[in-house]
Structure 1
């Protein structure tokens, strides 16, 4: 759907040249929610603006649905942009226009007839959950409602691609989740390809199918969200994963476990995907004569499945504990055995 080859953007300043995007290669599949994450200055916002040429690339190509966007003239680019909706961090609404008129604006520009425009806007108002608010002005809306207007406006021309530039970073956590749920719903109903820029790993975890991690203008790591969470390679990726899976009390908890539980075997179980649905602890209790004490754990859900860890203590005859451990190894659950967790 989207192919990015050797894409670069250099900003020329009085003091120096700044390479915001540096020879970037990326492929985004049709119908997926693709996340791009990076800290401030990583180049992610410049990257997303290169996709619809709000920024002109210094080098490289962007191909969307078999059309090289970087080679289009102004008239063809204007038509191509109608197939690329964009959602902004600070909404970018027209404050003198109502909700209805904000959503209708791109349809006016496209020359849609008034009656068709009215039907399309009302359809979009219902889609984004703003029924009854068509006559309201942006100043009368909450942050989440403003962003819903922005989403509806971005969808007005039935785009093939939806670009989201930090679409939830100005919102509180609860509102963020409601907007993310809406994007997933839109993705499922319309089959839209969504490219989402963020600095929050919670956003990636909750809705994205794949993710690219940017640092200093380059993609330093990419892949399925679940794989990146489970096996982060770069230090910057590990920091992002820790945003979601980090447990500030974990070190203290595990120290307490080691001090408190001097007998038996301490085992770390690692659940991935379907294995999180296994009633493993119940099975072990039925099959083996061991006492199982659950000590510490955390499970997190992604679009590609759940993953998490669970620390347990096995007490009983050593031979029976060994048989229980051997049984776990036959399942899809990974484990580590250690007297000191």
Structure 2
């Protein structure tokens, strides 16, 4: 569906060249929700502009839905863009138009007859949960409702790709979750390919199937969301994962835990799927004559299933503690013995 091959984008300024994107390779499958995460300046916004053809790469190839977006122009590019829609952080609604008129706008531009426009607008209003608000103006809507209008407008011409540029960053957490649930529902109903640009790992965890982590214009890590959560490789990825696992101030927290629990071993357990529901701790206590104290724990839901972390203190004879660790590893629960730095 979407391929980026050896993509680089260099901007020339009076102070020299700035490499916004450096040698990026990505493949996004049809019908998946793919997240691109990074902090400000990572190159995310440039990436999304490359995907919709607003920017041309300095080097490399961008293919979307079989069309070489990076090399076509004029009418061919406009035609390709009809299958690529976008929603924005600040909604970009027309304030002098009602909800229905905002949604109808791209249909008007496309020359769709009035009767067909009216029917399509009603379908979209129902789809995004705004029934009864068709005559309201943007100033009369909440932030979440404005974004629902933006989503409905983006779907008007039946796109095959939906690009979301920090689409929930201006919303409160509860509203963010409702918008993410809506995007997940749309993905399932319509088979729409969705690309989410964000700096929030919560957004990735909630609905994305796969993720690419960007730093300084490069993709430093990519993979299935559960895999990245379970075994983050890059330091920036570890930082993002800690944001949603409750261990953001990891170094200080770990040192405090080690100070508070000076005996036995402090072990971090990472587990996924149905293992989050198994009575592992009681099994260790019964089978190996060890004492296990839960120091910190967190379970997060991802689009592919639950992911959990536990930090525990295991006290007992060294041989029994080792047997307990061996059992955990044998049932594919990742273990990490934590020690003072």
1:276 aligns with 2:276: yes
1:188 aligns with 2:188: yes
Task: Give the Cα separation in 1 of the matches to 2:236 and 2:223.
Answer: 15
Whether the 8 Å CA contact 1:266–1:340 is kept in 2: the answer is no
Three-state SS of the structure 2 residue aligned to 1:96 is: coil
- Flag the 1:146–1:289 CA change in 2: closer, same or farther, 3 A: same
What are the ranges of 5 or more consecutive residues in structure 1 without an aligned counterpart? none
- Flag the 1:266–1:73 CA change in 2: closer, same or farther, 3 A: closer
Name the residue aligned to 1:61. Answer: 61
1:216-235 alignment, distance < 5 Å: 216-235=216-235
1:97 aligns with 2:119: no
Whether the 8 Å CA contact 2:239–2:248 is kept in 1: the answer is no
Q: RMSD across aligned C-alpha pairs, in angstroms?
A: 2.6
Task: Give the Cα separation in 2 of the matches to 1:129 and 1:195.
Answer: 22
Q: What's the CA shift for 1:207?
A: 1.4
Task: Give the Cα separation in 2 of the matches to 1:256 and 1:7.
Answer: 44
Task: Give the Cα separation in 1 of the matches to 2:122 and 2:18.
Answer: 45
1:70 aligns with 2:70: yes
Name the residue aligned to 2:156. Answer: 156
- Flag the 1:230–1:327 CA change in 2: closer, same or farther, 3 A: closer
Name the residue aligned to 2:5. Answer: 5
Q: What's the CA shift for 1:255?
A: 5.4
**Number of residue pairs matched by the alignment:** 341
Whether the 8 Å CA contact 1:10–1:18 is kept in 2: the answer is yes
Q: What's the CA shift for 1:198?
A: 0.9
Task: Give the Cα separation in 2 of the matches to 1:338 and 1:169.
Answer: 35
1:72-91 alignment, distance < 5 Å: 72-91=72-91
Greater alpha carbon shift after TM alignment, 221-230 vs 111-120 = 221-230
Q: What's the CA shift for 1:21?
A: 2.1
Cα deviations by residue, 1:90-147 (Å, 9 ceiling, x for unpaired): 1111111000010011111111121111111111111111111110001111111111
Name the residue aligned to 1:296. Answer: 296
Whether the 8 Å CA contact 2:247–2:253 is kept in 1: the answer is no
Whether the 8 Å CA contact 1:2–1:28 is kept in 2: the answer is yes
Whether the 8 Å CA contact 1:163–1:194 is kept in 2: the answer is yes
